[in-house]
Structure 1
């Protein structure tokens, strides 16, 4: 995971890495389960599948804890993991920033072909101090070679994220019917208001923004496309699974290749449903 998404790329406010190391690892638990959130349903799935490690994109521990009790549902899950021999790792914003990570995956969905546009860092590059090379950046800015109608962009986003519905803010009320051409799309996985506001782009594409952030964006002439926080992240899990398998193949000298199963959770889902 460190080779896939170096933890030094995470935001300073984030809490990433090995967040729970079980004191009782159990032999034979050779499955790694990938999820966005460690929910009770995902935990039950992990226990049923003899899981040894859960890679939970969102940190299961975010702020300092004064106690760990069974009465708190999230802490209950962590305590059960520890007791059952399951360790928990979180990459979070390191996986957002790294080249080839979640934000790049979102950007790819806007291009019918790679040559249809360019993908660049939205904010400052993150450099490797040892090599002097860039390893990632905050957010992405997609510039299409040719402008497209906002409705076409919405169609591409729905197809890429496998969604039936989006929330879209238009700069003026008549945009919904007449459409408008857009060319630059600013991207931030998850919650992107603080990062995207003020960016020189035609569209802000993220999971969620606050009410006043949306109002400010559309007042500034921007389109806002919101997909639901985890809907901008979950589709990357199969990509992460493939990367992990590839890294394990490289580590054949430690005897893990072919002995560790990587699975994407089937119980992980967005916590809100459209009804």
Structure 2
């Protein structure tokens, strides 16, 4: 990610909060402009409000925690999530699905939302993620390297190329000079993980964070994640943005800010996400 993109993104978030603070269509106000959004409760009148966040499936565990913290600091607000493949989420928004915030698993998918005029301001990059090979705990196919995924007889599951994790898979195949023949292509990275966990597949390509989440219950590991050098050729940067159709622009901007706050970044780093 180039520096100018990050600078423009930071300015955009600040501008979004400032404009919203000058007064919205409904006359409600929120937290003052100082301090992190995660720590500062909104001063809006008490009442039931719902913030709808569309987010990439790989963000589920982290965003649910950030959402809980956001509700605590914003009395009367309920954060509702819709998790799934990023391209599918953008398609839903294009078809008129109501939402306030969008977080995608790569920048090209967010660019589509921008091109369709769904986004308010400039998206903000907030984390990055890298692919790992995931295999069942006992690894029956004896997968050891990225090249093993192209061996005949290996049942490999990938994300569809239109999905960010699938686009990353295509990139690492090119970097490694191999051609994987998947037995299925899924619309979300969680579906790939599910097929490996259930034993329907010998291996798959998922994010580092998905492997960590699958093994975070405290019990014995259900799957094993294998690092491979080719993965560095396809690091996905995740952007987040308030949407043009948000019912409360200030509240949407505060949630965006919450993901980049110190508290939000701690949650995301603990899940295995890296800096954008």
**TM-score, length-scaled by structure 1:** 0.33
Considering fraction of residues, name the structure with more helix. 2
**TM-score, length-scaled by structure 2:** 0.33
Higher relative contact order, chain-length normalized (CA < 8 Å, sep 6+): 2
Considering fraction of residues, name the structure with more strand. 1
